[in-house]
Amino acid sequence: MREVAVIGIGMTKFGELWDKSFRDLVAEAGVKAIMDAGIEGKDIDAMYIGGMSSGGFVEQEHVAPLAIEVAGLEDFHIPATRVEGACASGGLAMRQGYIAVASGIHDIVLVGGAEKMTDVVGTEATNVLASAADREWEAFFGMTFPGLYALMARYHMHKYGTTQEQLASVAVKNHYNGSMNPNAQFNRKISIEDVLASPMVADPLYLLDCSPITDGAAAAILAPLDIAKKYTDKIVKILASTQASDTISLHNRKRFDALPAAIHAARQAYKMAGVEPKDIDVAEVHDCFTIAEIMAIEDLGFFEKGKGGKATEEGLTAIDGQIPINTSGGLKAKGHPVGATGVAQINEIVMQLRGEAGKRQVKDAEIGLTHNVGGSGGTAVVHILGVI
């Protein structure tokens, strides 16, 4: 297997981007990554694009050739593949790109992720997102996506004494981080009181416990480490790329206080990278809901199971804390265009490792981790990146 590097990144601003179409977003993120890497379009050997439901959101499937077309790359006839794993689609695209380069099949690979979520109205977005859950045995009966995480939140609170304020402290931290990220959907700081005064979505999750509906795209350029220097000096190495699965339905899982797929993917990633949780300097985790970040920092081994809420409340996951989590603002504040999220997480970690994260820079960050989850935990993808 060859060693693989990220040689370029790019993303759009995240938010409710009414003036931008799915195509505009894909083109913008892709071009930014290509320019950042110092490559030309003709250097690209393959493309993988993550997207959860372009069909549901903009009535457009077959988006890989569409991405090739908007990027003006059709004359090269390179293979282009869309990858789907609900909210983990972007992470899966990244992993497919990694596998393609590591195996020697392709040299330069463009990885992308995109979702245009605000072109539907009313509760339709809720309905499309519910298709990441089990349509026949969860959604059919009236279950929603926030509802599934609310079940896990209530369970975690009951079992470990996690509090409503501890959940809220995740959102408060991530909004604080997001206030320093120009690409974030929300640059507004919030308080615990703001979270607890926001409308209830699925008890015990308030609106401000939930990540928003977002438009956005992100991209990254991958290359074999040994030829990466030909293009750029800003090289970040991929130390691990792992993925695990579990049942699509929550009710068929072996436990409800963790995402077993995330635990599996994390264990394999630490082994592959030859590092331990304590070696990670910064992590982007899948905080689609505040409870999801609490479970994530436990599942990743940063904190003991059941202690994630307390750790967050005590500031241990702040930028200057023991393990800075979601410096970008996370899904909560940066926004969550579902298919783009996994690649946007890579963008943030690469920025941190290059020392380009500005006001939210983690001092001397050398090893970073991303944790991207699909559905209520049916898919989990973990990447560990390091400076060279």
Q: Is 336 one of the catalytic residues?
A: yes
Closest CA to 175 of 362, 353, 333: 333
Between 147 and 339, whose beta carbon lies closer to another protein? 147
Between 130 and 343, whose beta carbon lies closer to another protein? 130
Strand order in the sheet with 109-116: 80-83, 46-50, 109-116, 215-224, 4-11, 236-245, 379-387, 367-374, 282-284
- C-beta of 199: minimal distance to another protein in Å? 7
- Please give the angle made by the CA atoms of 97, 99 and 103, to the nearest 5 degrees: 125
Between 247 and 268, whose beta carbon lies closer to another protein? 247
Axis crossing angle, helix 89-103 with helix 338-354, rounded to the nearest 10: 60
Strands 282-284 and 109-116: unpaired
Task: Pull the structure tokens for residue 18.
Answer: 């009414």
Between 4 and 213, whose beta carbon lies closer to another protein? 213
Non-local CB neighbours of 255 within 8 Å, separated by 6+ positions? none
User: Three-state DSSP class for 11?
Assistant: strand
C-alpha to C-alpha distances, 139 to 56, 144, 162, 249, nearest whole angstrom: 16, 6, 27, 10
- C-beta of 33: minimal distance to another protein in Å? 35
Q: Is 175 one of the catalytic residues?
A: no
Strands 46-50 and 109-116: parallel
- C-beta of 126: minimal distance to another protein in Å? 5
Between 103 and 252, whose beta carbon lies closer to another protein? 252
- C-beta of 310: minimal distance to another protein in Å? 21
Binding site for another protein (CB under 8 A): 122-124, 126-127, 130, 134, 136-144, 146-147, 150-155, 158, 199-205, 249-252, 256
Which of 175, 264, 336, 371 is catalytic? The answer is 336
C-alpha to C-alpha distances, 245 to 88, 143, 305, 372, nearest whole angstrom: 11, 21, 20, 12
- C-beta of 150: minimal distance to another protein in Å? 4
Where in the sequence numbering do the catalytic residues fall?
87, 336
